[in-house]
Amino acid sequence: MAGLPTIEAYPLPTPGDLPANTAQWNVDPARAVLLVHDMQRYFLGPFPEPLRTQLIDNASVLRRGAAELGVPVAYTAQPGGMSEHQRGLLKDFWGPGMRPAPADREVVEPLTPGPGDWLLTKWRYSAFFQTDLLTRMRFHGRDQLILCGVYAHVGVLATAVESFSHDIETFLVADAVADFNESHHRTAVEYAARRCAVVTTAKEVFA
């Protein structure tokens, strides 16, 4: 049945759990953008504690680090209330999606976007699809993208692959993303490390 599944708690990966990275890139705050991916109430609703709080806390570490270092922060968020045409094939996998109500659409605190953050309306899995993310990055001379948010094996991974395809050095923060289960999470992290990104942890990104 289309829609979001029930999610059971699982442990987020630690540095010792991470696969070996193929690429050896390092984050440069002068080149990077932080993308907070789909951290809306609707998508975080199925997560149990303590997984939900751990995810938000680790994403918040990145948000604070970006602010301290002058790294632009971008947010993706679905608009809610999509028409059948706007929803397209998403409806066959996920049903009608979120309502336009704030209870679904709002980015969870304390990750609420601030003045000057980049707000991108999300239409499909990749954050680049029908948004100006790439244009903004090129305009600001940014060629690195740091990814946190949900869901790891769906939109986060799709965004990582497209980012790599645009020759953007991509960093997937393994303990600041989450998924429907530990297996999906691990699959996304392992694929990213081998094929399109550097996998790291929230404490290591701006260290």
Residues tagged active-site: 38
The rounded distance, in Å, linking the Cα atoms of 207 and 65 is: 9
* CB distance 39 to 74 below 8 Å: no
Residue 142: DSSP 8-state: -
* CB distance 154 to 5 below 8 Å: no
| Cβ-defined contacts of 128-136 (< 8 Å, 24+) | 128/159, 128/162, 128/163, 128/166, 129/162, 131/76, 133/35, 133/74, 134/166, 136/33, 136/72, 136/74
User: What is the residue type of 29?
Assistant: P
User: What is the residue type of 27?
Assistant: V
* CB distance 74 to 35 below 8 Å: yes
